[in-house]
Amino acid sequence: MEAHLTEWLNLSIRWVHMITGIAWIGASFYFVWLENNLNRKNPRDGLSGDLWAIHGGGIYHLEKYKLAPPKMPDNLHWFKWEAYFTWLSGVALLTVVFYLNPTLYLIAPGSDLAPAAAIAIGVGALIAGWFIYDFLCDSPLGKTPALLGLVLFVLIVGASWGFTQVFSGRGAYIHVGALIGTIMVGNVFRIIMPAQRALVKAIEENRTPDPVLPAKGLLRSRHNNYFTLPVLFIMISNHFPSTYGSQYNWLILAGIAVIAVLVRHYFNTRHDSNKFAWTLPAGALGMICLAFVTAPNYKQAEPSLAVEHSNEAAASATSETPAAAAQQSAAPAAAPAQTSNGSTSFDKVHSVIQERCTVCHSAKPTSPMFTAAPGGVMLDTPQQIQMLAPKIQAQAVASQIMPLGNITQMTQEERDLIGRWIAQGAKTQ
């Protein structure tokens, strides 16, 4: 029952996170588009531009003031709760998925890092990340936005590398997303909203608004806009183990972030000219290159030295004592792994998968963490195993992200065995 309740808690929070995230990012995209498409030719006094638009059967006329109207309207719509609830639901999701089960999802398999220490590193990084970012924006670097952006990119890539040294690939990616999300909501809460409140207050008190605060808010708003596509990728990255499961996962994330920023920049500037249209084919080429460099490089070969040594040890133990022989015969690596014609034995592969994988991926999981097979992936029958061989190759052999946290202690020899079977055609007979 606990696993069932956790699953529905996960689903509910994730749904709220998705809904509020769409609202926040949608508003961000819309206002950037609005800003970029204002008609600035001969605007009316006090305006920086206006725009006519049609949507949903109605025609709209929008105007932007240089600072503010002479008198504030009775009803002024604020955009803040989308950001706050996206971050709050994101932190709740981070807690439910990663911090309640740190040994399963957060900590890298085989790591000696204590769960409490891993959680402290994660939370501490989010807090430190905001203060470092805020300091840099308020430093002289803030007056050179391009250089500031480059420095921030390098620091985020450095944080990505650091996370991969202590967390699982999936845990590292999600913490990069949480770090960026914390910076984004910090911008809204600490900079953008105070600047807007100061502007409104100055108008109400019949004072000339300070243009510094709105300019500062605009810089942070632009940062948030460029952050959105990398964060969106991280939100869906858990479906793509060839990214976070790669040994170069932090570089892959950096590459995808560059592509995302380039694409965002094109859409932010296309109103002015198409001089950045090259970013779209460049982004497509970049994705093709990333797909190429992350392709599995499993080589069909003879049994690994580890397996050979294991078999030799079994033979030696058999010649020494009956007790040692019995102990070695119980080890999975000591069992025959090849058929008479030299191909990998499916019986052996089936045995490994039943022992290491069907604890979770079964019609009736025996793991207390799941009431149903995660993702609907079941490996009970030879036909199911054969059909899902490419997915097994990607997640258990190439990236080795499965089993989760390696809770069933799958050995490298067993992964090699499955990989050879798949390379030889994944035959069940």
Residue 316 confidence (pLDDT)? 40
Query: Among 199-213, 245-259, 288-302, where is mean pLDDT lowest?
Result: 288-302
DSSP character for 186? H
**Tens digit of pLDDT for each residue in 391-407?**
888 888 877 878 877 77
Residue 334 confidence (pLDDT)? 44
The rounded percent of the chain whose pLDDT value lies above 70 is 88
The top-scoring range by mean pLDDT among 19-33, 82-96, 236-250, 291-305 is: 82-96
Query: Among 114-128, 208-222, 347-361, where is mean pLDDT lowest?
Result: 208-222
Residue 114 confidence (pLDDT)? 93
Number of H helices, E strands in the chain: 16, 2
**Tens digit of pLDDT for each residue in 41-70?**
888 888 999 999 999 989 999 999 887 787
**Tens digit of pLDDT for each residue in 152-192?**
999 999 999 999 999 989 999 999 999 999 999 999 999 99
Confidence of residue 126 (pLDDT cuts 50, 70, 90): very high
Confidence of residue 91 (pLDDT cuts 50, 70, 90): very high
CB 154 within 8 A of CB 254: no
Question: What is the arithmetic mean of pLDDT over 215-238?
Answer: 92
- The pLDDT of residue 345 is above 50: yes
Residue 341 confidence (pLDDT)? 57
CB 98 within 8 A of CB 172: no
Q: Give residue for tokens 């085989």.
A: 110
How many whole angstroms separate alpha carbon 229 and alpha carbon 105?
24
How many whole angstroms separate alpha carbon 413 and alpha carbon 333?
7
- The pLDDT of residue 421 is above 80: yes
Residue 156 confidence (pLDDT)? 97
Q: Give residue for tokens 């890092």.
A: 113
- The pLDDT of residue 336 is above 70: no
Tell me the CA distances in angstroms from 54 to 49, 51, 63, 270, one per residue in order: 17, 10, 15, 20
Residue 323 confidence (pLDDT)? 38
CB 237 within 8 A of CB 243: yes
188 closest CA partner among 268, 82, 67: 82
Confidence of residue 26 (pLDDT cuts 50, 70, 90): very high
Partnered with residue 8 across adjacent β-strands are none
Q: What is the mean pLDDT of the chain?
A: 84
291 burial level (CB within 10 Å; 0-12, 13-18, 19+): exposed
- Report, in angstroms and rounded to the nearest whole number, the Rg of the chain calculated over CA atoms: 27
Confidence of residue 36 (pLDDT cuts 50, 70, 90): confident
**Tens digit of pLDDT for each residue in 94-116?**
999 899 888 888 988 778 899 99
Question: What is the arithmetic mean of pLDDT over 242-259?
Answer: 92
Is the pLDDT higher at 387 or at 301?
Answer: 387
**Tens digit of pLDDT for each residue in 283-311?**
999 999 999 888 765 554 444 434 334 44
CB 267 within 8 A of CB 374: no
Is the pLDDT higher at 118 or at 316?
Answer: 118
- The pLDDT of residue 22 is above 70: yes
